[in-house]
Structure 1
Amino acid sequence: MKTPIRTLFGILGLAASALATGAHAAPQHTDAERLARGRYLIVAAGCNDCHTPGYAPSGGQVPDQQWLTGDVVGFQGPWGTSYPSNLRLSLSRLDEQQWLSRARSPMLPPMPAPSLKAMTDDDLLAIYAFIRSLGASGEPAPTAAAPGVQVTTPYIEFTPKNLPQQQAALTH
């Protein structure tokens, strides 16, 4: 029979071993669970609204196989005109660590959305796995245009109108 001290050291040894081998990390998920979580996060975060042509106007009635191929509809504001990238092509060229780095890096508006910034590495890796499972497809999105450069594609203007400061200045 072990003494309480030996038992305590045994428990501490197991705990140290678990920490050293990464057993304290996030629970491992099956591939199917990871893909389902990635799909869910893409829908919940609204990724398709911009990165899937026709998704928002159709109320989300676009088959998964057409998701995340980018769009020619740009977003124009003080930064110029940016376009929703073809995530399927982009992620096909990145490994997991490159994706995590890219997802955490500054991007042109309207990205990164606050939902992307709030995600854990495990969330982002689930998204990565789901997008990679779809396979590379489609064409690259148009290149962003600098401020003042005319574009020939459709775009959504992201310039606030009727801000309170402007309204106050007009009444004085």
Structure 2
Amino acid sequence: MRITSAVLRRASALYLAVMTSAALAASDTGQTHAENPTASVTRGKYLVDTSGCHDCHTPWAMGPDGPAPDMSRALSGHPQSLEMPPAPKLPEGPWLVSIAATNTAYAGPWGVSFTANLTPDRETGLGKWTERNFIETIRTGRHLGRGRPVLPPMPVQVYRNMTDGDLAAIYAYLQSIPSVSNRVPAPITPEE
């Protein structure tokens, strides 16, 4: 009886390990998205929450504990109502970037960039984008995979290393969140 019980426990543990490994592999290849959209959205939320997306794409506001992402405007990008003054001139030296108090506008040698609206709004966000548009943007570092460069501080050089399955999951999650109408300004090129 002891031998049979021990064998069953080991077989159960092996079966669980194999099934967990298969589920993770499916998630990394995009199979989960096609077969189980709910699991894909859950995975996408996890990736967005742990990859720093809210740090830049959710406007920050002053709270009782200091500045923090304003989750009532989650992932809506630079607020259209916030007009930025000209970017300050930085002195020569190791300084590279100026950052707005909302954490959504950045000035550096590339000019001024504003974080994008990642919500599914059809006019001002990603609502008209396809999963392919999203993945190609991250892979190429160009808007819609062929347009203007995606500017700093967006770390496309890091995110392009994600699997297609993970990028598809992020896209699925972004399409599931509340839509926010917020037209982000176009980037400003550096003064010549």
Q: TM-score range by the shorter chain?
A: 0.5 to 0.7
- Corresponding residue to 2:114 among 83, 96, 105: 83
Per the TM alignment, residue 99 of structure 1 is displaced from its structure 2 partner at its CA by 1.3
Structure 1 residues 6-155: aligned runs within 5 Å: 26-28=30-32, 30-54=36-60, 57-58=67-68, 62-63=70-71, 66-72=73-79, 73-88=104-119, 89=121, 90-106=125-141, 107-148=150-191
Aligned position for 1:5: none
Aligned position for 2:83: none
Pairwise CA RMSD = 2.3
User: Given the superposition, is the C-alpha separation of residues 57 and 78 from structure 1 closer, same or farther in structure 2, using an over 3 Å criterion?
Assistant: same
Runs of 4+ residues over 4 Å off in structure 1: none
TM, length-normalised to structure 2: 0.56
Per the TM alignment, residue 47 of structure 1 is displaced from its structure 2 partner at its CA by 0.6
1:57 aligned partner, one-letter code: P
Q: Unpaired segments of 5 or more residues in structure 2? A: 1-28, 80-103, 142-149
Higher Cα Rg, which structure = 1
Q: Percent identity?
A: 34
* 2:44 and 2:169 in contact (8 A); partners too: yes
Give the Cα–Cα distance (whole angstroms) in 2 for the partners of residues 76 and 31 of structure 1.
38
1:80 aligned partner, one-letter code: G
TM, length-normalised to structure 1: 0.62
Describe the superposition over 1:48-94 as per-residue Cα deviations: whole angstroms up to 9, x where unpaired.
10000127922x5x44x631100143111111000101111432111
User: Given the superposition, is the C-alpha separation of residues 39 and 26 from structure 1 closer, same or farther in structure 2, using an over 3 Å criterion?
Assistant: closer
Give the Cα–Cα distance (whole angstroms) in 2 for the partners of residues 26 and 135 of structure 1.
24
* 2:76 and 2:118 in contact (8 A); partners too: yes
